[in-house]
Amino acid sequence: MQTKKLTVHRPSKKLFTTDKDFGHYLAGIIDADGHFSKLGHVVIAFNLRDIRDAYTIRSLIGYGKVRPVKGKNSVNLIISNKKGASHVANLVRHKLKHPDKIEQYNLRLCELLGLSLEKTSIDTTIDWDSFWFSGFCDADGHLRIHILNRPHRKNHEVRLLCQIDQKGDVLLKQMQLRFGGYLGYRKPLDTYYYSSVSFKGIYSILQYFDKYSSQYTQAYLRYTILRKSYLIIQKKEHLTPKGLDQIVKYRLALKDMI
């Protein structure tokens, strides 16, 4: 196996320095797990484990309330007043990439709020030189480690994965084109999923996160664990009992975060 060399020195976590950076990140979150309601409200869903991040996003926006979702292990950040919704609209304008969210923005925000908002672009092409994918993956991505025992092989097979599920495939196709990997369809659930399947792909994904950091607390921790695992594989130390044991510990740590 030929792995591309990732620098052993993990870059420090990148924080937002401009509204433009935050806007791209927020657009990614909304494209993944948010929507603009028929009332013109901005609604972003968070897993209960990410509730601290919901409050952080609320603080960065400056508007909204975090409310539990009845019967679910999740909370919603809801921005219902016109001033707050208008502020979000200005942040994410021309940065949204999901066709449904673009349509919601143009119909529900621009027409319902009555604030003469400029409509957002209908261009669904992902801007990879931005925090958009970081926000999207924080909200809807899963970084994982699989260890397979192949009886016909001398060593265990280690796989590092990034998996994302969506109702549509417009954005997932672009991720497959960018990072390689597999795009599948689950007929019983009527959902599509993207999964990286090669070390070349996960190398490119880790390189992206080196430049545009995850911001959710657990998502950033998952990235650091996957990165450490890649470095073990890069040095071929996963072929030794000590290296494999360390990756097993990392895998268990990731499972505990689910």
Q: What does the pLDDT look like over 22-76, one tens digit per residue?
A: 999 999 999 999 999 999 999 999 999 999 999 999 999 999 999 999 999 999 9
1 — pLDDT class (breaks 50, 70, 90): very low
* Sheet strand arrangement including 141-148: 141-148, 157-166, 191-195, 182-186
161-177: b or e for each residue (b if 16 or more CB lie within 10 Å)? bbbbbbeebebbebbbe
Structure tokens that stand for 179 in this block: 């990072």
The Cα 202–Cα 222 span in angstroms is: 13
Mean pLDDT within 158-185 = 95
Query: Shortest CA distance to 15 belongs to which of 7, 25, 29, 5?
Result: 25
Q: Please check whether residue 130 is in contact with residue 212, taking contact to mean a CB–CB distance below 8 angstroms.
A: yes
Query: Shortest CA distance to 80 belongs to which of 92, 99, 67?
Result: 67
Q: Provide the mean pLDDT of the chain.
A: 93
Q: Please check whether residue 164 is in contact with residue 142, taking contact to mean a CB–CB distance below 8 angstroms.
A: yes
> Which residues are within 8 A (CB) of 257 and not within 5 positions of it... i.e. 6 or more apart?
49, 218, 221, 222
114 — pLDDT class (breaks 50, 70, 90): low
185-211 confidence digits (pLDDT tens): 999 999 999 999 889 999 999 999 999
- Is the C-alpha dihedral spanning 98, 226, 232, 246 positive or negative? negative
